[in-house]
Amino acid sequence: MENASSSSNKLNLFNNSCLDILQRDSQSRITTGHKGLDRHLGGGIALRQITELVGNSGTGKTKMCLQLCLNVQIPKSAGGLEGAALFIDTRRDFHPDRLQELAKDLERQYKHKAPDFQASKMLQNIHYVSCPDAVQLMATVLSSQRHLIAHPNIKVIVIDSLAFSLRMLEDGAQRFELLLELLQSMRRLQREHPVAWVVTNVLTHRCIGRQFHVVPALGDLYSHLINERIWFSRSGQCSLGKLWKTSRLVKD
């Protein structure tokens, strides 16, 4: 295994240019269904990346998660990925009814382009796992390798919400350790499989100097390791960027 990877690396050092990547990867994105967001992201959420959705409760993070689970299934004939989704729920907050509504909307939207694309089938393609605590979340992320082998068409794995289960842990050091452990296995997995991770996070207060700042929870190192962060606000607007101060407002 180790030898194989190093020998392939020998071949790959200088034959993977920016241009090659561009020509290869233009299709592998999951549309968010939000025109402005798609434009900023270059067509949607990228596979093999960790995308974080952050915002206060009730700003549409979970809805976006569900929407992504559906959008990943858009048939190839209509420009989609025709994949499946794994939904990891830590808050027991999954409403099949809500999902069905969204699915029906999507079915209507694609009625002309893909008549076979039906809401009932969409629901079948969303695998659901409930993880009420951090230990189970860890176990699920570790075992998602198996899920991916059993269902190779899973293209998106959603953790809603990543922050919730981790923040229940009292011990800060343990929480940090577990978070990094999770990220490590997520990163490893997305390297081996073309899968997009979507996680949700909440906002918290932190005291820097003598001022309070509103920052995403889970810390700076975590912020460094995720690939993209989408901010949701109550007014229904979205922004992109790792830091609030430097994020770009997405216009429709």
Partner 1 sequence: MDLKKILQTSTGKELLSEYQLNLLTKNHIETMLDFHNAEDQQLHKLLAIKLESVVKIKNELALLHRDSETIVETVYESDFETGIEELDKLLNAIGQPFRRGRVWELCGETGAGKTQLLYTLALNFVWKHKRQVLFIDSKQDFSTKRIQDMLLERKVDQETSEKAMADIQVVEVLTAKKLIEVLKEFDRQMADGVQAALQTRVVVVDSLAACFVDLRGSSDMRMMRDCMLTEVACRVRKLAVRGVAFVIGNVSFADQDADPSDDDGVEDGNSDEQSTRQQIEPTLGAYWSSVCTLRLSLEIPEITDCGDSDDGIVYNESQDDGLRMVNVLTNSYGPDGDTCLLQITDAGMV
154-213 positions binding partner 1, by CB under 8 A: 172, 177, 180, 183-184, 187-188, 190-191, 203-213
Structure tokens at 245: 């101060």
Site for partner 1 (CB under 8 A): which residue of 133, 214, 251, 252?
Answer: 214
Q: Quote the DSSP letter at residue 251.
A: P
- Residue 38 touches partner 1, criterion: CB under 8 A: no
Residue 32's closest CA among 44, 23, 21? 44
Rounded to whole angstroms, how far apart are CA atoms 22 and 84?
A: 24
- For partner 1, how many residues bind (rule: CB under 8 A)? 66
In whole angstroms, the minimum distance from the beta carbon of 131 to partner 1 comes to 22
Q: Please give the structure tokens belonging to residue 205.
A: 């207060």
The neighbouring-strand residues paired with 237 are: none
CB of 73 to partner 1, least distance (A): 24
Nearer to partner 1, 68 or 218 (CB): 218
Nearer to partner 1, 107 or 216 (CB): 216
Instruction: State the nearest-atom distance from the C-beta of 61 to partner 1, in Å.
Output: 14
Which x/- pattern, by CB under 8 A, does the window 45-84 give for partner 1? ---xx------x----------------------------
**Cα 252 to the center of its chain, rounded Å:** 21
Q: Which is nearer to partner 1, 99 or 195 (CB)?
A: 195
Do the beta carbons of residue 48 and residue 194 sit within 8 Å? yes
12 touches partner 1 (CB under 8 A): yes
CA 56 – CA 58 distance, rounded (Å): 6
- Tokens representing residue 46 in the block: 């990228």
- Written as one string, the DSSP assignment of 93-152 is ---HHHHHHHHHHHHHHTTTT-TT--HHHHHHTEEEEE--SHHHHHHHHHHHHHHHHH-T
What is the strand order of the sheet 238-240 is part of? 126-130, 84-89, 154-160, 196-201, 50-55, 228-232, 238-240, 248-250
Q: Provide the minimum distance between the beta carbon of 107 and partner 1 in the complex, in angstroms, as a whole number.
A: 30
Contact with partner 1 (CB under 8 A) among 93, 101, 220, 252: 220
Give the number of other CB atoms < 10 A from CB of residue 53. Answer: 28
Q: Does 231 participate in binding partner 1 (rule CB under 8 A)?
A: yes
Structure token digits, residue 193: 């499989």
**Contact (CB, 8 A) for 216 and 54:** yes
Q: Which of 9, 97, 146, 150 binds partner 1 (CB under 8 A)?
A: 9
Compute the residue count for the chain.
252
Cβ closer to partner 1: 48 or 151? 48
Cβ nearer to partner 1, comparing 112 with 209: 209
**Residue ranges binding partner 1 (CB under 8 A):** 5-6, 9-10, 12-22, 25, 42, 48-49, 56, 172, 177, 180, 183-184, 187-188, 190-191, 203-215, 217-221, 223-225, 227, 231, 233-235, 237, 239, 241-249
